[in-house]
Structure 1
Amino acid sequence: MTRSNRNVTVYGAYGHTGRFVVAELCERGWTPILAGRDAGKLDEMGSAFPELERRVASVMDPSSLDRALVGAFGVINCAGPFLDTAVPMLEAALRARVHYLDVCAEQAVALGIFERFSETARNTGITVIPAMAFYGGLADLLATTAMQDWPDADAIEIGVALDRWHPTAGTRAPRRPAHGSRLVFTDGKLEPLADPPPSREWTFCAPFATQQMVALPFSEIITISRHMRSDKVQSYMNLTPLNDLRDPSTPPPTSTDARGRSAQVFAVDVLVRRNGQTRRAIAHGRDIYAISAPLVVEALQRISDGRCRKIGVAAPAEAFVAHEFLASIRDLRLEGC
């Protein structure tokens, strides 16, 4: 597909994150193709976007995935659980020779994409970027920005603070077990997270101040470990949102502005340590689901206009110049970058 092609399939378009992605694409001059397995939900979404084509597609029917990608420059997969959807949709993208991006947080998914599809994607001539979202992509870009000109690091530590976490139905949905334990990067290799997971204090800027944290690694461990040299990579989250997530009475997110964002605020604080020195990069923003939309759409835009540095499977900061990419995201406030 040529760079002038502005059609992009959004799989899981009617989901909570998918709706943000569709709106972001429209705002930036792309033409989303609304795709998903539920015809009723696609029709319902079509009432808000009557000018957009709708295509029913299921991961159980590869030919329907092929039809969903006809005429597209790329596909953005927003349909969880990604343990079920990522491989079938990526295989369809390879058949169609269109670029693939997703917003997965699952480590097993991101790792599997790197291990299984790197050579095939490179030979096919497409770019594949898993975890191009709040979990995965944002920390990967911040860590690379903080690293600057250091060739390696003794440790990369990621602190995520949310004031609340009102989970979507997709976040709460029952899932089949992931492949193995959560992973951290220690002594140059991926290893299972300790049980019980380590805890610590972390001092953020306002409004979070000092927070009690517990180790909770997501897909950023996979993306960072693929292209950055560090003896250790670990992620932590504060306890308040985890208590919300565990409480079945916590309501789903509620829109509080014209763009549909919730009032939730977040900070992602990345520390890179080397030889007794520390470098830091911090991002503040609003609504972890909503922020994934400008991140993944900016990535697609940069692939389209030739500012992507890698063909094949890539971590976000492998594909793009990290500090420039972060500075282009309107909804992020950056410090130390």
Structure 2
Amino acid sequence: MSKWMIYGANGYTGELIARQAAKDGMTPILAGRNREAVSKLADELGFETQIFSLDNPDTVTENLKDMELVLHCAGPFSKTSRQMVEGCLAAGTHYLDITGEIGVFEMIHDPGMSKRAADKGIVLCPGVGFDVIPTDCTAHKLKELMPNASELALGFSFLAGMSPGTTKTMVEGLSGGSAERKDGRIVPFPMGSKKRTLDFGRGQETATAIPWGDVSTAYYTTKIPNITTWIPLSERQIRGARVMSLFAPVLGTKPVQKQLLKWVDRSVKGPDERARENAPSYIVGEAKAADGRTITVRLKTTNAYTLTALGSLEVVRRMLGRDLSSGSFTPAGLFGSGLVESLEGSGEFEVVE
């Protein structure tokens, strides 16, 4: 039987994934550096454990050597992903994670990194949660419908609150502003400086551009050179984002970051089950060709955190014991646009021309 690991299983999203795995009859090994928290969860669910940090490369490799696959859930991934990726390369272990961070995607999809993975015969596939399965599959669907698309806009809306890990990632990104893909290159710009209207499935809404992971991943999925990502915000919220961007240099300093991250630890717990059940997510994508023709697709899914649990485990199931192409991949690049439609609580794509 294939052995696989959830690393960071004691975090908010890692625990959701572990509990869903138990419900589905899967048997991951739960891992992380917090022995007490990981062991408590593993004892409850009846899983084995491995306790280790990512500080020592040899330790990481040793703990991964018998694993076919690791699902990495310990963020912020800007601080943890490279260590785990290097461990997977050394051990010959497939790597998955649930990041949404552009820098992590760019690191893993770098041609040199992809070649190293191919030479080792392993798959590196970051972003197998809400970041970025629904939007990545939407990008893939639009490329199928419009092969000659030159522009791609992707948007999402979800009502559930944020987990501590997601909030910490946002805090660490306060100094970075927003970003888009322009003529194949990632270009930064101030947060709140770009807006438009989009119909996420509930009528036209004002939206602002944000640095979502698809600025990176959708390019590798589709090769469309111009990509923007959007969320609905009110005019007042967009103005607030513009004002906040003026303080970006201060918000990125170590003393301010330290205090903000302490606040997250004290105050942010993540949405409970009831909040998740009452918070569906809405996805919209728009492809545009050079001649001006556009195609729009929309999709309604379950809430972001439940989708992360369902989506990541579906990718695990599709990979374990399978003979796969090796290298760096996006979720839709591995399994096509239909991946998201196969998940419980997800509808089918609605196409509007």
- TM tier, smaller: 0.7 to 0.9
Q: State the percentage of identical aligned residues.
A: 22
Answer yes or no: is the 8 Å Cα contact 1:107–1:183 preserved in 2. Answer: no
Q: Which residue pairs with 1:334 in the alignment?
A: 348
Deviation larger for 37-46 or 21-30: 21-30
Q: Which residue pairs with 1:197 in the alignment?
A: 193
Determine the C-alpha separation between the residues in 1 that align with 2:173 and 2:109.
20
SS at structure 1 position matched to 2:44: coil
Q: Which residue pairs with 1:79 in the alignment?
A: 74
Determine the C-alpha separation between the residues in 2 that align with 1:203 and 1:265.
15
Q: Which residue pairs with 1:107 in the alignment?
A: 102
Determine the C-alpha separation between the residues in 2 that align with 1:298 and 1:224.
20
Deviation larger for 13-22 or 280-289: 280-289
* Pairing 1:181-330 to 2, within 5 Å after superposition: 182-194=178-190, 196-206=192-202, 209-239=203-233, 252-256=269-273, 261-274=276-289, 275-304=291-320, 306=322, 308=324, 310-323=325-338, 325-330=339-344
SS at structure 2 position matched to 1:202: strand
Answer yes or no: is the 8 Å Cα contact 1:8–1:33 preserved in 2. Answer: yes
Deviation larger for 72-81 or 292-301: 292-301
SS at structure 1 position matched to 2:96: strand
Q: Which residue pairs with 1:146 in the alignment?
A: 142
Amino acid at match of 1:329: L
Task: Call closer, same or farther: CA 1:46–1:316 in 2, change over 3 Å.
Answer: closer
Answer yes or no: is the 8 Å Cα contact 2:54–2:83 preserved in 1. Answer: yes
Cα deviation per residue 1:240-298 (whole Å; 9 max; x = unaligned)? 7x79x9998986434335xx945322101111122333223322123212211221221
Q: Which residue pairs with 2:13 in the alignment?
A: 17
Task: Call closer, same or farther: CA 1:40–1:221 in 2, change over 3 Å.
Answer: same
Deviation larger for 187-196 or 327-336: 187-196
Task: Call closer, same or farther: CA 1:216–1:195 in 2, change over 3 Å.
Answer: closer
SS at structure 2 position matched to 1:79: coil
Determine the C-alpha separation between the residues in 1 that align with 2:341 and 2:221.
21
Determine the C-alpha separation between the residues in 2 that align with 1:99 and 1:304.
9
Q: TM-score, normalised by structure 2?
A: 0.82
Q: How far apart are 1:13 and its partner, in Å?
A: 0.5
Answer yes or no: is the 8 Å Cα contact 2:179–2:210 preserved in 1. Answer: no
Is the counterpart of residue 161 in structure 1 residue 157 in structure 2?
Answer: yes
Deviation larger for 96-105 or 36-45: 36-45
Answer yes or no: is the 8 Å Cα contact 2:96–2:128 preserved in 1. Answer: yes
Uncovered stretches (5+) of structure 2, i.e. residues with no partner: 245-259
Answer yes or no: is the 8 Å Cα contact 2:137–2:340 preserved in 1. Answer: yes
Answer yes or no: is the 8 Å Cα contact 2:162–2:271 preserved in 1. Answer: no
SS at structure 1 position matched to 2:21: helix
Determine the C-alpha separation between the residues in 2 that align with 1:256 and 1:9.
24
Amino acid at match of 2:109: F
Answer yes or no: is the 8 Å Cα contact 1:108–1:179 preserved in 2. Answer: no
Amino acid at match of 1:263: N
Q: How far apart are 1:229 and its partner, in Å?
A: 2.9
SS at structure 1 position matched to 2:273: coil
How many residue pairs match? The answer is 324
Q: How far apart are 1:26 and its partner, in Å?
A: 3.0
Q: TM-score, normalised by structure 1?
A: 0.86
Provide the aligned C-alpha RMSD in A. Answer: 2.9
SS at structure 2 position matched to 1:333: coil
SS at structure 2 position matched to 1:30: coil
